[in-house]
């Protein structure tokens, strides 16, 4: 008498639960009713059980007739090819995310799927759903919820799927996009929750640096069990030693009902056990494929990026200088930039701009910028640029949010902006409310790039008028465009040079409750702004108006 040696598949999958624990899992419902999930996400259930390939496949790796007969699958099947995307360091897997691109031979489009997985501990699916909801994946997020229920493990899968046409790979057959195209199509179709998972643009950065894991082929037989559709998939996967292929066989069914999933799962386990086909273990398929199809290590990158060019520095306030430069080039890719102030590292940026804050008023600072890549190579320094901070008390970026109550209105000093771009500068003004105004020179009329912006938090929202204490820069009247967020905006026509007056937007602007950005943009020529008043009233203030609001953090 001898003990049968475990197959490669059995050695690879997770160890089965045994004894009283396994019996409890098979006999006891895992959790509560579906109604408990309404506030978070409502899952369906997919039961997945592994079959012994040495018993259920023939020499051509097709299902044997006894299995086909048992589940009414017939001998025909549908062919698929699938590949996964992740970085070389598998940082997406590290956050519980996976992305796959899948193609069926008789369909013209590819299916892209982004999936976030949560472990279900002790059958408490509601806890996993609550955790997902706490991370922004709830019933309103546009994702689908499914409990993957194996032999001894449950996992909550929160997924986003989309069918896409991939140029050069779509149509009949199993053509898959190459790595470059896969990155592009993945970035273009990623859901925002993934794109901004740990920080703004996190997902985009992962996909832009991702590699292909796979592709892997599988075929699907379609049958039935206990009046439910049953799929049996046969996967052809490189073996652990990477010397050839092995085969994974999985039987699965889906249902919206927990009780039906539980009872049918027990019945299917019993049926497979009676035939001797069941492998009483779980297979971590995605992680196994990513482990086995990991690309070979790349040749070390020893080439430094080119030095940044066209660096510029502009004073934004008495304590801030803004820098910008032209992107560097690299043989692999630039990952960021280090900014040096007077020869010492001041900070880093992932893009081509940097705001240096906490500076001393009326002080000149010199800056250089160096590019770096993922391998740690650093470029030569850019040409040095200098700028002097503004005098103390001359306004500048606030870094805060202005509270605007639609019932009372709110005043804002123009020079205390949240952000600015283009030709706006702060200028001394003896007749202005705080001794300063914001202005642009004559001929700088570009509403898309010349603006000052203010972050506002609105309560009692509705239709507002934007009043500007303003003036033109020459003998003719000029104008601004005022806009909320990405809206087209409304015109405010100023008086002529030297004459300050309150002027309001040509029409009211709808501002809902919540946080928004108010833009004051140059519409034609140049113009000056001293103070801003947001009010539901069309009546203009008098004099210098009321007390300006103080921004909050």
CATH number, residue 261: 2.40.320.10
Question: From the CB of residue 87, how many other CB atoms can be counted at a distance below 10 Å?
Answer: 17
Quote the tokens at residue 39.
């506030």
pTM flag (> 0.85): no
Quote the tokens at residue 288.
């196994």
Quote the tokens at residue 247.
């085969």
Cβ partners under 8 Å of residue 42, min gap 6: 34, 139, 145
Shared domain for 63 and 133, answered yes or no, is: yes
Give, as one character, the DSSP assignment of residue 192: H
- Give the dihedral sign, CA 277/282/286/291: negative
**158 in a structural domain:** yes
Give, as one character, the DSSP assignment of residue 549: P
Domain total of the chain: 3
**274 in a structural domain:** yes
pLDDT of residue 396: 65
pLDDT of residue 433: 87
Shared domain for 402 and 383, answered yes or no, is: no
CA distance 553 to 401: 6
**9 in a structural domain:** no
Question: From the CB of residue 296, how many other CB atoms can be counted at a distance below 10 Å?
Answer: 5
Domain that holds residue 493: 396-535
**66 in a structural domain:** yes
**476 in a structural domain:** yes
pLDDT of residue 397: 65
CA distance 175 to 107: 11
pLDDT of residue 347: 95
pLDDT of residue 264: 97
- Give the dihedral sign, CA 157/163/164/169: positive
Shared domain for 84 and 198, answered yes or no, is: yes
Q: Domain with 363 in it: what CATH number?
A: 2.60.40.10
Q: Tell me the sheet residues that pair with 45.
A: 147, 255
Quote the tokens at residue 470.
């303003």
**371 in a structural domain:** yes
Shared domain for 104 and 229, answered yes or no, is: yes
Cβ partners under 8 Å of residue 35, min gap 6: none
Quote the tokens at residue 537.
């009233």
CA distance 533 to 540: 9
Q: On the CB side of 360, how many CA atoms lie within 13 Å of its CA?
A: 4
Angle at 311 between CA 306 and CA 312, to 5 degrees: 175
pLDDT of residue 295: 83
pLDDT tens for the chain, 553 residues: list them: 333 344 444 444 433 333 333 333 443 444 443 444 446 889 999 999 999 999 999 999 999 999 999 999 999 999 999 999 999 999 999 999 999 999 999 999 999 999 999 999 999 999 999 999 999 999 888 899 999 999 999 999 999 999 999 988 888 899 999 999 999 999 999 999 999 999 999 999 999 999 999 999 999 999 999 999 999 999 999 999 999 999 999 999 999 999 999 999 999 999 999 999 999 999 888 999 999 999 877 678 899 999 999 999 877 667 788 899 999 999 989 999 999 999 999 999 999 999 898 898 889 999 999 999 999 999 999 999 998 887 655 556 666 789 999 999 999 999 888 888 888 888 878 888 878 889 887 776 666 678 898 989 999 999 999 999 999 887 777 889 999 988 888 999 998 877 899 999 999 999 999 999 999 998 877 789 999 999 999 999 999 999 988 887 5
**10 in a structural domain:** no
């Amino acid at each position: 008498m001898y003990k049968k040696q475990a197959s490669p598949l059995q050695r690879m999958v997770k160890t089965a639960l045994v004894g009283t624990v396994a019996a409890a899992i098979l006999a006891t419902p895992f959790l509560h009713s579906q109604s408990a999930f309404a506030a978070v996400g409502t899952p369906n259930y997919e039961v997945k059980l592994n079959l012994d390939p040495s018993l259920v496949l023939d020499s051509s790796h097709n299902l044997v007739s006894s299995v086909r007969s048992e589940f009414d699958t017939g001998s025909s099947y549908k062919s698929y090819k699938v590949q996964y995307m992740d970085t070389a360091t598998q940082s997406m897997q590290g956050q519980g995310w996976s992305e796959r691109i899948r193609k069926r031979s008789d369909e013209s489009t590819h299916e892209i799927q982004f999936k976030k997985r949560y472990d279900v501990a002790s059958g408490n699916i509601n806890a996993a759903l609550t955790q997902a909801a706490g991370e922004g994946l709830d019933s309103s997020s546009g994702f689908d919820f499914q409990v993957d229920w194996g032999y001894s493990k449950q996992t909550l899968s929160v997924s986003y799927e989309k069918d896409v046409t991939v140029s050069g790979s779509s149509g009949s057959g199993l053509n898959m996009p190459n790595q470059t195209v896969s990155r592009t199509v993945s970035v273009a179709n990623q859901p925002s929750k993934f794109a901004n998972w740990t920080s703004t643009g996190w997902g985009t950065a992962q996909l832009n640096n991702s590699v292909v894991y796979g592709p892997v082929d599988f075929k699907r037989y379609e049958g039935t069990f206990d009046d439910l559709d049953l799929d049996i998939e046969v996967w052809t996967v490189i073996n652990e030693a990477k010397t050839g292929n092995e085969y994974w066989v999985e039987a699965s069914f889906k249902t919206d009902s927990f009780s039906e999933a539980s009872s049918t799962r027990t019945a299917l386990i019993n049926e497979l056990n009676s035939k001797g086909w069941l492998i009483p273990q779980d297979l971590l398929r995605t992680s196994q494929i990513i482990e086995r199809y990991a690309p070979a290590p790349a040749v070390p990158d020893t080439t430094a990026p080119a030095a940044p060019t066209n660096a510029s520095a502009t004073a934004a306030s008495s304590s801030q200088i803004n820098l910008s430069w032209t992107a560097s080039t690299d043989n692999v890719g630039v990952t960021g930039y280090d900014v040096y102030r007077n020869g010492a590292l001041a900070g880093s940026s992932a893009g081509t701009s940097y705001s240096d804050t906490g500076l001393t008023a009326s002080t000149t600072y010199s800056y250089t910028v160096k590019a770096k890549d993922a391998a740690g190579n650093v470029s030569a320094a850019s040409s040095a640029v200098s700028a002097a901070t503004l005098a103390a008390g001359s306004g500048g970026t606030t870094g805060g949010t202005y509270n605007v109550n639609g019932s009372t209105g709110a005043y804002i000093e123009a020079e205390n902006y949240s952000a600015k771009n283009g030709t706006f500068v702060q200028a001394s003004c003896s007749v202005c409310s705080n001794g300063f105004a914001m202005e642009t020179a004559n001929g700088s009329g570009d509403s898309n790039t010349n603006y000052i912006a203010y972050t506002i938090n609105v309560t009692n929202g509705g239709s507002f008028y934007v009043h500007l204490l303003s003036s033109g820069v020459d003998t003719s009247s000029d104008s601004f465009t005022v806009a909320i967020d990405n809206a087209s905006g409304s015109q405010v026509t100023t008086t002529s040079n030297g004459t300050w007056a309150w002027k309001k937007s040509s029409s009211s602007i709808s501002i809902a409750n919540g946080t928004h950005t108010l833009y004051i943009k140059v519409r034609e020529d140049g113009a000056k702004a001293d103070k801003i008043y947001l009010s539901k009233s069309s009546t203009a203030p008098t004099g210098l108006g009321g007390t300006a609001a103080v921004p909050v953090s």
